[in-house]
Amino acid sequence: MGASEWRYVVAYQADVGAALQQLRQEVYDRGEYYREPVERDSDLDLTEEEFRARLDPRDDDDGFSEAIIEDWRERKRRPVPVDPDTLVAAQPHSGTHSIIDMINGRSDSPGFATVAPLTGEELIRAFGSTTPPSAQVQEWMRAGGGLRERWSGTYVISYRDGQPDHIHFSGYSGD
């Protein structure tokens, strides 16, 4: 499928980490994320002993059955999604293609599954100021500004009349 780019804008609040968690929950509540197709797998209703009994012992010469059993165990451990974190845990290979994938929260520097701010130098280079207005940040992000490595995000605080006004998040995630 490939990764998906995402962008969000929220009202400014001093705690960017709290704003991120609130946004993740809102995106989850609105259903604005990729959800793996849910197919009823009756094998997951079996005990391990019952599942093992269904396997063909002739396929076990090279450990193939053990690989199948380990895959079954991993699928059985996946939670039923009830919030952003359990959604990510339920589909660890595909992600959600949204800000929900930023499970490690806010960081001062870019990292896996985190959102990080631009440095002062990056702000000057991108906007000519460390206090850019919202329209300028939105245009920059629409043009692909702020995208870093897959599975990471960027945030920029925009200003109005010299005061923080919005937090803009962008990134791309998913497989």
Domain spans, the chain: 4-34+95-173, 42-80
pLDDT at 123: 97
For residue 122, give both structure tokens.
Answer: 């990056």
Integer Cα distance of 61 and 125 in angstroms: 60
Strands annotated E in 77-127: 115-117
Note the pLDDT tens digit of each residue in 32-78: 999 887 666 778 778 888 888 888 776 666 777 888 888 778 777 77
pLDDT at 74: 77
Q: Which residues, 6 or more positions from 55, have their beta carbon under 8 angstroms from its beta carbon?
A: 65, 68, 69
Put simply, whether the predicted model's pTM sits higher than 0.85 gets the answer no
pLDDT at 60: 64
Low-confidence ranges of the chain (pLDDT < 70): 1, 38-40, 58-61
Query: Distance of CA 174 to CAs 22, 48, 72, 78, 89, Å?
Result: 20, 31, 23, 18, 13
pLDDT at 38: 67
